[in-house]
Amino acid sequence: MPEFTSDAPRANRNSPAFPCPRCKQPSQWENNSSRPFCSERCKLIDLGHWADGSYTLPGDPVDGESITGQDEED
């Protein structure tokens, strides 16, 4: 039987940490139902921003300009 499995790396004892995409805090990947976020809170916040439209690109679409163009009405 191969022996390489008996020498488990110690790094494996710690679950891999990763920076939370929301708050940049180091978070645990294992036993984390909110991954890739550090917590459910960050997850909800991030999802909320998307739903709220806070992540929209700068500069409104050309749609807004046609509205002001119709100022004249005879």
Binder of Zn ion out of 3, 6, 10, 38 (CB under 5 A): 38
Rounded to an integer, what distance in angstroms lies between the CA atom of residue 14 and that of residue 60? 46
As measured in angstroms, the least distance from the Cβ of 14 to Zn ion is 19
As measured in angstroms, the least distance from the Cβ of 9 to Zn ion is 27
Cα of first residue to Cα of last residue in the chain, in angstroms, is 92
* Residue 28 Rama label (left phi>0; alpha psi -120 to 50; beta): beta
Stretch that binds Zn ion, among 1-9, 35-43, 52-60, 61-69 (CB under 5 A): 35-43
Residues binding Zn ion (CB under 5 A) = 20, 22-23, 38, 42
